[in-house]
A and B are shown apart, each in its own frame.
Chain A
Amino acid sequence: MIPLSWYLVLAAALFSLGLYGVLARKNAIAILMGVELMLNAVNVNLVAFWRYLTPDSVSGQAFAVMVFAVAAAEVAVGLALVISIYRRRKTVAADEINLMKW
């Protein structure tokens, strides 16, 4: 059987990929995709821990499902914001959007 640590390594790798994407990409859509990667890395962790540590309770699965739901909502809101910003400023580059600067 595949040991738990493998899953954890996979999840860590996935998370790091997502984080890199969020921090380094300019395109806001890509940043949202990075966020999705990070969330799914967490899902992998949750499901793996559930399967290996507490297979009797369903709390791990339940958390994972909840994360899906939150992720879907987050993407919907995020894409709406991106479209709105695009309409106003004709760009989706994150480093050009600095309205909140002091």
Chain B
Amino acid sequence: MTIATLTWLIPLPPLLAFFLILLFTRRNNAISHIVGVGTAALSWLLGMIVFIAAIGAEHLGENPITSSVGWLALGDKIFSIGVLIDPLSAVTLFFVAWTVLMIFIYSIGYHNFGQPKGAHDVPGLPPEGAEEHGHRVPSVEPMYARFFAFIGLFAFGMYTLVVSDNLLTLFVGWEIMGLCSYLLIGFWYAKPSAKAAAIKAFMTTRVGDVFMLLGIVALYSATGTLSFREILYSHEVLETLANTPAGVWGLSAAGLIGLLLFIGTVGKSAQWPLHVWLPDAMEGPTPVSAMIHAATMVSAGVYMVLRMFPLLSAGWVEGGDLTTTMTVMAFIGAFTALFAATIALAQKDIKRVLAYSTISQLGYMIAALGIGAYVAAAFHLVTHAFFKALLFLGSGSVIHGMEHGVLHTGEHIDAQDMFNMGGLKSKMPITFWTFLIGGFALSGFPLITAGFWSKDEILADAFANGRWIVFGVLALAAVLTAFYTMRQITLTFLGTPRTKAAEHASESVRTMTLPLIVLAVFAIGAGWVGIPESFPGIGGVLPSWFHDFVGGTLLEHPPAAVFNATPLLVSFAVALGGLGLGWLAYRRSGQTDPLRQPLGPIYTLLERKYYFDELYDWLFVRPVKWFAEQFTYLFLDRQVIDGILHRIARAAFSLGRIFRTYFDAPVVNGFGDFTASVTQSFGRALRKIQTGQVQQYLLFVALLAFGGLFYYLLTILQ
């Protein structure tokens, strides 16, 4: 079997799991998770085989692993779909396979497999715990099997997106994930907040998706193909697109298509101004948050713009002026990075902090791509996927431990509020150390962690190309990132417990800690493949493999940034400074935030997320509701459409009455009645002879017979 054939097979096992679980094994939790994890492991294995084959291939960028089949005949052309493994999809496949598998395994423990059923648990609500030997213990999730079916479908969507060789199947995978994120965020559908969050996520990403679909259509009409190779590896196509005016705002065709596609990413990767859905998506189970926020969906947005980078940057030369699309991306990315980081400062919910940090880090990648730092963006995508999956799973483990404490003590507190935690370091050592690694990677702790190398590369790239604004904004965002990460670690793990529940928290089960350890290894090790060769001291000890490999995806391999001490020192300073400040500010924190007092109204502004939810409610939701109520329902539906219908009905009614009065009643009924009454009078006259006396009948017969005989004889005789 060739590698290309194996690539075709990668997405299929989780899809199979989806159908198997839903159709056959859904009543049995053990079989269902074996099917779910087993198929994920199979995809992982296929992915690793393909990945190893890909890194072993010479000049993979020029000669990628491809295979395609004709799929749809459009006029005289055949639209073909297929798979494509080039350096970018190979590294994406690598981190997707690992994180997805880890999340599947983690879900077993997170949903309390092996625990008793709760007496009051109902499908659609989180399990409330069960009574066992006089203790309250966690209870198994009522919809355990269904969860594995859904994340299976989700994994199918992501693998499809990664291996596809054209924009259309990429979009199919993209939309499957959109559906799954809706299903999974609303997994506990009986919770009103989860239901609302699911709808919000679906609607918000839909805004981006519509524009993306427009972009795909525009691209198809301009080039007649959606295949990545045919568009992105052809100088002619790119040049034509860059030089054709689109007729809107003086953009080129490439610019317009790029902008439209980028709006899809803004929705999917939760960039400002479509970021509002992602924090609310925390309503889903934590493995879902990790799926959506780390391994798959939000990464898909960045993956797509990385994939389309040659188109987005068509007409741009290294070191020259940025194209419109790139400028927009740099602006939105940098703004989002800073904006989300500030909100994260004032959040209490452990998962919401991570959600905003995800938005912020995705902003980093978008900004990096906007200034042309292609490899740095891809690098950060990979490292971020690992450490953010680690952080989310770690936070799920913390919440799990806290819930254990809550069940044990019977306190009524929010198990996700960091100000209810504290001192968990000794209670949950594995979770603490892995979370610390993840947190330090997120903050860019120098030299060891993966996050440092990828973030440093972005900053170095911005510095080397003289993008001062982007550099400054991203550096500032990095300080804030380190600060809120340390705040989170300090509040959660350090100090003394703030509640009884935190005192009684306990370490999670092995199925949850094992994925944490594996991901922690990657959160550190994933950075070592991308250490710049010019780095003083340790540069060149390990080959800077990532840059050469992923850089090969592009037609013209991007040069490595020249080493400069300034961005490196900035990286050191922001990471260590932010971490140190965070520790100083929060090491003695009680149940209120020590920053609330000095910041005053600014703190409230941050806590309420700059009132974006309220703004959108006022700006979009209410007008649309008003429009739906007043215009569509009351005017259009009730008056116009119903009015027409009523008039038709009334006309038909009076026509019917005319027919009834002048035709049916006199003619049809008259005829029927006449027939009946004639028959009746005959019957009445004739019944006289039915006397019931047999002899009389016989007499009639005899008389008639004689009469007939006489008549006959008479006629004969004449």
Contacts and interface: CB of A to CB of B under 8 A. Distances in A.
Interface stretch (B179-187, B209-217, B557-565, B694-702): B694-702
B702 A100 contact: no
B702 A98 contact: no
A101 B691 CA distance: 5
B693 A23 contact: no
Contact of A31 (B687, B690, B695): B695
A31, A95, A98, A102 — most chain B CB neighbours (10 Å)? A102
Interface string A23-36: 11000000100000
Contact of A94 (B687, B690, B695, B702): B695
B250 interface: no
Nearest to B694: A94
A44 interface: no
B692 interface: yes
Contacts of A100: 690, 692
A94 B692 contact: no
Nearest to B699: A23
Interface residues of B, number: 10
A71 interface: no
Contacts of B698: 22-23
Nearest to B684: A102
Contacts of B693: 94-95, 98, 101
A101 B692 CA distance: 4
Indicate the size class of the contact surface on chain A.
Answer: 10 to 19
B695 A95 contact: yes
Nearest to B691: A101
Interface in B18-39: none
Contacts of B702: 19, 23
Nearest to A31: B695
A99 interface: yes
Given A19-B702, A23-B702, A98 B695 contact: no
Interface in A27-53: 31
B690 to A, nearest CB: 5
B524 to A, nearest CB: 110
A31 B687 CA distance: 25
Interface in A1-38: 19, 22-24, 31
A98 B699 contact: no
Contacts of A23: 695, 698-699, 702
A102 B690 CA distance: 6
A98 to B, nearest CB: 3
B690 A101 contact: yes
Contacts of A98: 691-693
A22 B695 contact: yes
Contacts of B695: 22-24, 31, 94-95
B694 A102 contact: no
A94 B699 CA distance: 14
A4 to B, nearest CB: 19
A22 to B, nearest CB: 6
Contacts of A19: 702
B694 A99 contact: no
Contacts of A31: 694-695
A100 B687 CA distance: 11
A92 to B, nearest CB: 12
Contacts of A94: 693-695
Contacts of A102: 687, 690, 692
Nearest to B687: A102
Interface in A57-102: 94-95, 97-102
A36 B606 CA distance: 122
Nearest to A25: B695
A99 B692 contact: yes
Interface in B670-694: 687, 690-694
Contacts of B690: 100-102
Interface string B292-305: 00000000000000
A19, A24, A31, A95 — most chain B CB neighbours (10 Å)? A95
Interface string B461-472: 000000000000
Interface of B: 687, 690-695, 698-699, 702
Interface of A: 19, 22-24, 31, 94-95, 97-102
8 contacts: A19-B702, A23-B698, A31-B694, A95-B693, A97-B692, A99-B692, A101-B692, A101-B693
Given A23-B695, A31-B694, A94-B695, 17 more contacts: A19-B702, A23-B698, A23-B699, A24-B695, A31-B695, A94-B693, A94-B694, A95-B693, A98-B691, A98-B692, A100-B692, A101-B690, A101-B691, A101-B692, A101-B693, A102-B687, A102-B690
User: What are the 3 A-B residue pairs with the smallest beta carbon separation, nearest first?
Assistant: A98-B692, A101-B692, A102-B687
